[in-house]
Amino acid sequence: MTNLNIFLENTYENYDIDEVKTYNNVVKMAEYIFQDKEIMSLSCLCDVEYTSISFDIVLMNNEEIHRINKEYRKKDSPTDVITFALFADSPDGQNFFLDGDINLGEIMVSLDRIEEQAQDNKVPFDDELYFIISHGILHLLGFDHQNEDDYNFMISNQNKAKAIIK
């Protein structure tokens, strides 16, 4: 198994979340995703040799993700997740890759939106959180959902990754 370096930070001071549990569950999901042959054969890492993978997850409130969404995506509203895919979106030869370590990028998650969506979808908060984090991991690997097949591929793999932590 490739060495995973995942940094999880909760910047939402007034939101109490079990960061150790969340981190451990994210590691389980990431290990599943990075060991899945189909996902990896279609990912931005397909033909790349590496010894470790790094990425960051930042948990925040609606206000902060709204600001980021407006600044970087020109969308004037909060959203559930924003990813900055450093490796997948970099031109060939300019990837964030040093001494065998690939920096995939950063996943930003609004805990307010996760709570709202969990209520709307009538699912536990943790289910929605891990579903959205797995979505972000797939984006970091270069996947998108611009057509129905790609959307179904992502949703299917998000559900499989989330099921690992049950």
Q: Which residue has the tokens 């599943």?
A: 32
DSSP 5: E
* Burial of 98 per CB tally in 10 Å (0-12, 13-18, 19+): exposed
pLDDT in tens, 32-88: 999 999 999 999 999 888 999 999 999 999 999 999 999 999 999 999 999 999 888
Q: Which pTM value belongs to this model?
A: 0.94
pLDDT in tens, 20-29: 999 999 999 9
In this structure, the number of other CB atoms found within 10 A of the CB of residue 2 comes to: 16
Q: Which of 1, 96, 108 is closest to 44 using CA atoms? A: 96
Domains of the chain: 3-163 (3.40.390.30)
Q: Which of 21, 27, 23 is closest to 1 using CA atoms? A: 27
Q: Which residue has the tokens 């099921």?
A: 163
